[in-house]
Every structure is written in structure tokens, then in C-alpha cells.
Amino acid sequence: MGTSAQLRRRIAAALFAAAFASLATAADIGQIKVAKGPVTIERGGQTLPAAVGMRVQTADVVTTGADASVGITMGDNSLLSAGPNSTLSLDRYEFDATTSRGRFDASLSTGSLAVVSGRIAKQSPEAMTVRTPFAILGVRGTEFVVSAHAPTAAPN
């Protein structure tokens, strides 16, 4: 009888560990594939140096330096490429790999962003948006580039 109780405890521990591992990776929504120059990720109040292979999560803010760029592949195979002096917030990301349905919202505060949309936008084009300080872009095609720079003052 002692071995049966031990077996149940081991099974319960294994199930708990599997569930915890699943929760830990559930927050991962994509991965940095290319990083040139100073690239950082702000997550939970901390600023982390970004490196190739690093996983990104919802609510991450990716920032590139003056001579930097970053390429990110999302879970639905969307490709994001931010150029120098860019600040990109990954505001919302939900994706069901079985149905290809989901929602992807990002904000570009400054800089430039090139996007090749993935399965979410191909399934439901209205399900992907990129906000800038001046506009909200609804993805209706498969590729686009957007730039967000502060307006320059008019000469006197």
C-alpha cells in the first residue's frame, strides 16, 4: 500500500511540474532572431539586454539604439523588424495554433517597423493592428512598413 501512495504522489508531482512548465512557457509569444547593436527589452520594470534566442512576452517593450536593429519571429510566424532608435511595445498577443485565430496588437512609439504578417492576419486581417502616436494601422495585406517620428518644428 505504501508503494501505491508513493506512485500517486510521484504522478501528482509530475503533473504539477508539467502544468507549471506549461504556464512558464505560455507567456512566450515570440523569439528574437536577429539583434544588432544595443537592443533592450523592458519587462516587469526591469531592462534586459536582448540577445538572439531570447523569448519575448506580451507587454514587453523592445528598444533599439542609434545604430541598432532587431528581428523578431512571433508564434504565428509574423516577422517584425525594428530599425534604429525604435521603441516597440508588444501590447496584446493571443494565438491558437490549431485554428490560426488570435489577436496581435503592437505600438510603435518611435522609429521604424517592417512587418510580414503571419497566420493571425492571414486568417482574420482585422485581428492585427499597429498603433503609432499619429495613427492606428489595421493590417489588410501581408507586408508593410511604418515609421513613427516626432514632427519637426516649422521654420519661422
pLDDT in tens, 53-111: 999 999 999 999 999 999 999 999 999 999 999 999 999 999 999 999 999 999 999 99
The structure's pTM equals 0.77
**pLDDT band, very low/low/confident/very high, at 151 (cuts 50, 70, 90):** low
pLDDT band at 26 (very low <50, low <70, confident <90, very high): very low
Q: What is the pLDDT, as a whole number, of residue 68?
A: 98
Under 8 Å between Cβ of 68 and 84? yes
| Domain range summary for the chain, segments of one domain joined by + | 29-148
CA distances, 27 to each of 1, 61, 143 (Å): 40, 14, 26
List the Cα angle 132/134/140 in 5-degree steps: 60
